[in-house]
Structure 1
Amino acid sequence: MTTEITYAEVRFKNEAQSLDTPSQTPAAPKEKTSPPQSNSGYLKLLLAALLILLLLTILFLITFIGKSWSCCPKNWKPFGSNCYFFSSDARNWTDSKKRCSGMQAHLLVVDSKEEQDFINKNVNKKIAYYLGLSDLKNGHWEWVNETPYNQSATFWHPGEPSNGNEHCVMLNFRNQKWGWNDIPCHDPQYSICEMLKIYL
């Protein structure tokens, strides 16, 4: 009797897990992580940026307000960086000067043709007005605020100044134009006061 031997090829997969647990994919190796960093560096940078922005805003507001929010007192007229008050009564030159000083101002000091033109447009042709110009101290023309007298920037009427005994200056209208004229300081005249604009 012959015996038959049958060979069967059986292959087994090598699985590390047992059959009763669900199959899982092998976990990827964990990366090394550094401990969470503090946000203090970021916060410092943010605070510095905010502080710079705040300072720039304040500087902008100061500049903007300084230029845009200037004003003159009631009944004063603005021109350039100054305010002008045209009196409504006549006084001598010394009293006119005191009145301007009492208002934290001074008698008009003319610095330019533009300023003189502005004044000419705002005065009454029938009235004369004291300016802040005299030669009372030393015989030389001087402005009340000590601005140097500039002969080339004057607006005298032709032939003026005309009298060595007339030590104060007024603005008046004659021969169809405005101009300066020297007169005695005790004569009562209207006056023009000048002050810097008020900046808020």
Structure 2
Amino acid sequence: MQSYFLPSALSRGSKRTVTFSKKKSGVSVSKSKSGVKKPASKQKLSQKPSATSRRRPVRSSPIWSRLSISPLASKSLAGVMTLLLLTGAVAMIIMYFEKQRRVKVENTSAMEIIREVMILHNESFQGKSDSEILGGVQRLAQYLFQLNSRNEDLNKATNAIIAKLIAGWKPFSGNLYYFSKSKLSFDLAGGTCVRQGGYLVYIHSRAEQEFLAKEVDKATEAFFIGLRKEGADWKWINKDPLVQSFWAPNLGGVAGGDCAVIFSCSISVDCWHKVRCVELKRYICKMKPDPKYLR
């Protein structure tokens, strides 16, 4: 092997050494550290992937290519699907109109029933238009609502009367009467009757006096009635004047008494007596239910 020195003009001042060897590869060139190429056999070349080896993007293929369906068959399939969609749309339209028809029939049947009922209720609705019939229905509904409200009020009043009867009140001629067990002064007795929804009894007829005399006779005690002296006159506590009286022939009690009691009526219904208002006596309460519930 022989080496020769090459002039510097070949490599801009860098030294190159050409080595001739008997190898078939011929001349091998080496490069120094200053930039001379090393032998090609030792140079590491970066290998770039070839164009064919790069990954190509996957393109979506037609459905018939993936399912092995020919384009002609795919067109037929698309036509079938279009036909199915059209058939479904037509079916939905038919169902809609059928539903509307049924609603119309039901409304017509309901109107016929309403007309028959209204004619049975009032024959003057015969031959009336639907709007007139519906107007009559509205008026009837308002009447029934008022009637229902009145029935509710009646039930409340009835329940109140039943409660009074259970508590010991006695009915007579559309009124309720309570004969107390306890004894109070005249003023306290009047306040107690008011709290119970009534008042100390007023007596306006002989029949009422006979009913009270009979009940008082059972108790054999004196009961306050709602009669009081004001000045020279006797008046009921609601300020009504005394028109018909039932004083006992021989007035008992304390002289100068300003309140009246009913007592000892076994001999005669004329059994009112005068007593002092501060005395403790039993008393009679009276309550008149609302007349509209007694029709």
Coarse TM-score class (shorter-chain normalised): 0.5 to 0.7
Measure, in 1, the Cα distance between the counterparts of 2:247 and 2:268: 11
Matched, 1:181 2:276: no
Measure, in 2, the Cα distance between the counterparts of 1:174 and 1:193: 18
Please list, as runs of the form range in 1=range in 2, the aligned pairs for 1:44-59 lying within 5 A after superposition: 44-55=131-142, 57=144
Change (3 A) 1:56 1:107: same
Question: Which deviations, in whole Å up to 9, do the C-alpha atoms of 1:22-70 show, x marking residues without a partner?
Answer: xxxxxxxxxxxxxxxxx9971222123324444555666648x759x64
5+ residue gaps in structure 1?
1-38
**8 Å Cα contact 1:166-1:182 kept in structure 2:** yes
**8 Å Cα contact 2:228-2:259 kept in structure 1:** yes
Which of 1 and 2 has greater Rg? Answer: 2
Counterpart amino acid of residue 105 in structure 1: G
5+ residue gaps in structure 2?
1-107, 112-127
Provide TM-score, normalisation by structure 2: 0.45
1:191 is paired with a residue of what secondary structure?
Answer: strand
Matched residue, 1:100: 193
Counterpart amino acid of residue 47 in structure 1: L
1:91 is paired with a residue of what secondary structure?
Answer: coil
Provide TM-score, normalisation by structure 1: 0.64
Q: CA deviation at 1:81?
A: 3.1
Aligned residues: 157
Measure, in 1, the Cα distance between the counterparts of 2:255 and 2:144: 58
Question: Which deviations, in whole Å up to 9, do the C-alpha atoms of 1:86-108 show, x marking residues without a partner?
Answer: 10022221221222122232111
**8 Å Cα contact 1:171-1:180 kept in structure 2:** yes
Matched residue, 2:209: 116
Matched residue, 2:257: 166
**8 Å Cα contact 1:125-1:173 kept in structure 2:** no
Counterpart amino acid of residue 272 in structure 2: W
Change (3 A) 1:113 1:59: farther
Larger RCO, structure (CA 8 Å, separation 6 or more): 1
| Root-mean-square deviation (Å) | 3.3
Change (3 A) 1:187 1:164: same
- Which of 205, 213, 222 aligns to 1:128? It is 222
**Structure with the larger helix share:** 2
Out of 157-166 and 46-55, give the one that drifted further: 157-166
Q: CA deviation at 1:142?
A: 1.0
**8 Å Cα contact 2:224-2:282 kept in structure 1:** yes
Please list, as runs of the form range in 1=range in 2, the aligned pairs for 1:81-92 lying within 5 A after superposition: 81-92=174-185
